[in-house]
A and B are shown apart, each in its own frame.
Chain A
């Protein structure tokens, strides 16, 4: 188990920023940490990376206590803090050299070159960090977090503030690197979690309110299936009654009717058979997907 958290609490004044959370992340997992602003994502990550100590509870990285074995823990994690702070007056290479020397890794020049290639910084490597665009700064931040080949990566909002192309690039980069590492990343963007993560944890007000695979969560939190069907003409009173005997109609607008039920395939079959029996033409049939976004809205309200 790469990351294990037991009853972690962080109190600021009277407020619990992180309120007794426990979870475990297996080696090789990519876990998305989801939640509204101020939910306690960053605070949790700061505790895992030894930046601030927990008020109570324990956290372990590769079995090492973050408080007792702080230095050893820091050696094994790569951390990209929120807002990606960088020394803007340093050159890209100079900065990576500095970070590598802090980690005391051997053959620094070779490793720095590898990281520059891995993160696609070749063109920008001779520039000052302050001159780089946000996307490239993010790459420098990632290179900095991975230069010592850590087994655990903790990334706090790695794609915030990037344009859609850059987001895709950074995601690909994380997925590539994350293959043989444990990655924990926080984000606001649902698609990101669906695209990259094996597992999602949704936090709200310091508590974990949902934890599981994206598909599982969808199932767990999906209530009713909403099916919209569109016929070629509006139904007559009689037809409508017939249909309502088989299934509940929640709304209708022109030719489309919104149906509600539990079993998606069954509902489709009913709608189809009904159309055939009444010599109607089905022009559209659409299931409203219960997206992670909806789950997020529901559980963090």
Chain B
């Protein structure tokens, strides 16, 4: 697993995908947080970095799909899939190696935003007056959410040997799981089952964790989502054997 992980990280770095993802993520967030009027922290008057946690899930829909779209599609297209699967390594190790490589890249793109936390806590009156609980909760939520996106992305990549198809499917699925259930819940048709429907969406659990209340039910939801899609990926990955 570790050798696959290392290979993936190297290929992210050498193909510049990692750098581009990190830079684009930081620029987009920087603009929303400090420059644009609507979401600007300085104008908002509150010592928090909530706009970051509102924007990041949407930006990640694009960026994580871009990171994961090639992971299986490219191997299938180039035939290197056959090299990998005839080596003494299990399908699960290949899958997990790729998964954690994606996760590490995403975490590295989130890390620099800790500077925003420091800046805001310095600007706060009195100094350091910032809701740390909600902040760490939000960071945990963001990491769990991206972990979920990555497993959705890997699934989208394993079903096709075309990277574009994989990218689009991944964006659709991420978006679907992030916010569709919220919209569905708001239909009057679902009046009494509203809560139940929203429960299926990522955003519901993400919002919960962001409040700084780390509920085991939310953690379990994210873990189930990750495991579900990794499991589906594994099934399709091994389906060459059918």
Q: Answer whether residue A164 sits at the interface, using C-beta atoms and an 8 A cutoff.
A: no
Residue B80 contacts which of A50, A52, A74, A87 (CB distance < 8 angstroms)? A87
Q: Answer whether residue B119 sits at the interface, using C-beta atoms and an 8 A cutoff.
A: no
Residues of A within 8 Å of B6, CB to CB, are 98, 101
Docked complex Cα distance between A205 and B130 (Å): 74
* One of B84-92, B103-111, B163-171 contacting the partner: B84-92
Contact A81 B241 (CB under 8 A): no
CB distance from B53 to the nearest CB of A (A): 35
Residue A51 contacts which of B11, B86, B89, B90 (CB distance < 8 angstroms)? B86
Total cross-chain contacts (CB, 8 A): 62
Contact B88 A51 (CB under 8 A): no
Q: Produce 1/0 per residue, B113-142, CB < 8 A to A.
A: 000000000000000000000000000000
- Interface of B, helix, strand, loop or mixed by DSSP: helix
CB distance from B51 to the nearest CB of A (A): 37
Contact B3 A102 (CB under 8 A): yes
Docked complex Cα distance between A94 and B6 (Å): 11
Residues of A within 8 Å of B82, CB to CB, are 46, 51, 81, 85
Residues of A within 8 Å of B2, CB to CB, are 101
Docked complex Cα distance between A83 and B78 (Å): 10
**Contact of A85 with B87 at beta-carbon distance under 8 Å, contacts A52-B240, A98-B7, A102-B3 already known:** no
Contact A88 B88 (CB under 8 A): no
CB distance from B18 to the nearest CB of A (A): 14
Residues of A within 8 Å of B240, CB to CB, are 51-52
Residues of B within 8 Å of A90, CB to CB, are 10-11, 14
CB distance from B86 to the nearest CB of A (A): 5
Interface centre among A49, A51, A71 (most CB of B within 10 A): A51
Docked complex Cα distance between A84 and B22 (Å): 34
Docked complex Cα distance between A79 and B3 (Å): 19
B4 closest partner in A (C-beta)? A102
Residue A83 contacts which of B11, B79, B87, B241 (CB distance < 8 angstroms)? B79
Contact A79 B86 (CB under 8 A): yes
Query: Would you list which residues of chain A between 49 and 80 have a CB under 8 Å from chain B?
Result: 49-53, 71-72, 74-75, 77, 79
Contact A71 B90 (CB under 8 A): yes
A100 closest partner in B (C-beta)? B3
Q: Produce 1/0 per residue, A97-119, CB < 8 A to B.
A: 01101110000000000000000
Residues of A within 8 Å of B87, CB to CB, are 74, 99, 102-103
CB distance from B203 to the nearest CB of A (A): 37
Query: Would you list which residues of chain A between 22 and 62 have a CB under 8 Å from chain B?
Result: 46, 49-53
Q: Produce 1/0 per residue, B4-26, CB < 8 A to A.
A: 10110011001100000000000
Docked complex Cα distance between A94 and B83 (Å): 15
Contact B79 A74 (CB under 8 A): no
Residues of B within 8 Å of A50, CB to CB, are 85-86
Docked complex Cα distance between A46 and B240 (Å): 11
A91 closest partner in B (C-beta)? B14
Q: Produce 1/0 per residue, B63-83, CB < 8 A to A.
A: 000000000000000111111
Residue B85 contacts which of A51, A94, A99, A144 (CB distance < 8 angstroms)? A51
Docked complex Cα distance between A52 and B4 (Å): 21
List 16 A-B residue pairs with CB atoms under 8 Å apart, sorted by A's residue number.
A74-B86, A74-B87, A74-B88, A77-B86, A79-B86, A81-B79, A83-B79, A85-B79, A85-B81, A85-B82, A86-B83, A87-B80, A98-B6, A101-B2, A102-B87, A102-B89
Using a CB–CB cutoff of 8 Å, the interface residues on chain B facing chain A are 2-4, 6-7, 10-11, 14-15, 78-83, 85-90, 240-241
Nearest 3 interchain pairs by C-beta: A85-B79, A101-B3, A75-B88
